[in-house]
Amino acid sequence: MNVSAERKKKPTAPELANALPPDEILFGRSGAMKEVRKRATKIARTNIPVLLCGPKGSGKEVLARWIHAHSPVANGQFVKINCAAIPGTLLESELFGFEKGAFTGAHSTKPGRVELAHNGTLFLDGIADLDLASQSKLLQFLQDGRFSRIGDELERSVDTRLMCATDKDLEEEIAEGKFRADLYYRINVVRLKLPTLRDRREDIPAMAEYFLARCQEQFKAQAEPLTMETLHYMQCMDWPGNIRELSNGIARHVLIGPEATILEDSSLPVTPALPHVPANGVVPLKRLCKEAIRASEKNIILAALRANRWNRRKAAQELKISYRLLIYKIRDAGLMTKGKNSFGSPRG
């Protein structure tokens, strides 16, 4: 590793989060992401409101920025509001601005964020976290693009493209009375759903290499190349933090090395200990037992692979099965993708 002593200092979480600027995107070749790319390309040409759904770290903001950059309002600003970070009472002043003296502490006039987003994009991140009062105010504004700064009579109007993101199930939030159905219909004109990283395992090696190259450039540092074993292992992880977790892991590898640090925060693959038993009184014993056996087998195979640093020949010997059968079982358990993959022929 060719990094200075200072660089070897463990970076803080915000440093890692900022390690890779979210202005580039890698779609990958998984079926799920090909579909996202196709739809995003079409959506980008229009001005319709988009709702981006998917778990934390799955790339909702990165995709929103990409859509903005490829849209008719690309020359305008991309204005992001993190709904979870702004308390309900402050949201109105943040969104619509205020006049000097409108309330205690309003020492000078401040334009609203919606004004900055005029002829650009307004990106409301974590939309499910808005309280009901803020939801009503937002809905009023979305109906005609008109608003007034707090403490100002003048009605203003802006033209902005709206994108919202959430990792929650808004329909569930509506059913629980936490989210307004009418607001939901207004923001959910088209929806893009981003998959979890474990639902696109075939993209992991390419993403890891991509982050490695980007990170080395960004930090002007040279890191060890990723070994086949590490790439294999990474494909088996569950990645609860999704792409953010992967990119942070690679940043750690570049800044502090060695490879083991990539997996520092990651949970081991989660295999349900027992299959889900339906609550409706029907207990299909044969099927449930089969699932339980498969889950245990997957755990045992993973443990053997890990113990042998992904040397599959050694793992097969240890498990007292043939090499071919092990390869079949690895694929069957979804631990490796079928067909050609980016790390070539088996070494073990």
Which residues contact ligand ADP (rule: CB under 6 A)?
20, 22, 24-26, 54, 56-62, 165, 243-244, 247
Q: Which does 25 bind (CB under 5 to 8 A by kind): Mg ion, ligand ADP, none?
A: ligand ADP
- Residues in 127-166 at the binding interface with Mg ion, rule: CB under 5 A: none
Residue 21: Cβ-neighbour burial (10 angstroms; 0-12, 13-18, 19+): exposed
Q: What's the CA gap between 35 and 57, in Å, rounded?
A: 19
Q: Please report how close the Cβ of residue 289 comes to Mg ion at its closest, in angstroms.
A: 41
Residue 283: Cβ-neighbour burial (10 angstroms; 0-12, 13-18, 19+): exposed
Contact 202, 30 (CB under 8 A): yes
- Residue closer to ligand ADP by CB (options 58, 93) is 58
- Residue closer to Mg ion by CB (options 61, 202) is 61
- Residue closer to ligand ADP by CB (options 61, 229) is 61
Q: Please report how close the Cβ of residue 203 comes to ligand ADP at its closest, in angstroms.
A: 9
- Residue closer to Mg ion by CB (options 61, 94) is 61
Among 38-46, 55-63, 167-175, 269-277, the segment contacting Mg ion (CB under 5 A): 55-63
- Residue closer to Mg ion by CB (options 61, 129) is 61
CA dist list (Å): 342 to 206, 311, 325 = 7, 17, 22
Q: Which does 247 bind (CB under 5 to 8 A by kind): ligand ADP, Mg ion, none?
A: ligand ADP
Tokens for 73?
């309002």
Q: Which does 120 bind (CB under 5 to 8 A by kind): ligand ADP, Mg ion, none?
A: none
Q: What is the DSSP-derived secondary structure letter of residue 334?
A: T
Among 60-68, 173-181, 226-234, 301-309, the segment contacting Mg ion (CB under 5 A): 60-68
- Residue closer to ligand ADP by CB (options 93, 235) is 235
Q: Please report how close the Cβ of residue 249 comes to ligand ADP at its closest, in angstroms.
A: 11
**Interaxial angle between packed helices 204-219 and 242-255, expressed in degrees from 0 to 180 and rounded to the nearest 10:** 50
Give per-residue burial for 323-335: e unless 16+ CB within 10 Å, then b. Answer: eeebeebbeebeb
- Residues in 239-278 at the binding interface with Mg ion, rule: CB under 5 A: none
Among 57-65, 66-74, 266-274, 326-334, the segment contacting Mg ion (CB under 5 A): 57-65
Contact 158, 115 (CB under 8 A): yes
Q: Please report how close the Cβ of residue 243 comes to ligand ADP at its closest, in angstroms.
A: 4
**Interaxial angle between packed helices 60-69 and 31-44, expressed in degrees from 0 to 180 and rounded to the nearest 10:** 40
Q: Please report how close the Cβ of residue 121 comes to Mg ion at its closest, in angstroms.
A: 15
Tokens for 267?
């949970």
Q: Please report how close the Cβ of residue 17 comes to Mg ion at its closest, in angstroms.
A: 10
Q: Please report how close the Cβ of residue 52 comes to Mg ion at its closest, in angstroms.
A: 9
Q: Please report how close the Cβ of residue 125 comes to Mg ion at its closest, in angstroms.
A: 5
Q: What's the CA gap between 331 and 328, in Å, rounded?
A: 5
Q: What's the CA gap between 166 and 114, in Å, rounded?
A: 20
Can residue 61 be called a binding residue for Mg ion (CB under 5 A)?
yes
Helices (H), 145-203: 170-175, 181-187
Q: Which does 58 bind (CB under 5 to 8 A by kind): Mg ion, ligand ADP, none?
A: ligand ADP
Q: Which does 253 bind (CB under 5 to 8 A by kind): Mg ion, ligand ADP, none?
A: none
Chain residue whose CB lies nearest ligand ADP: 59
Residue with tokens 């949201």, as numbered in its chain: 91
Q: What's the CA gap between 149 and 155, in Å, rounded?
A: 8
State the residues that interact with Mg ion by CB under 5 A. 61
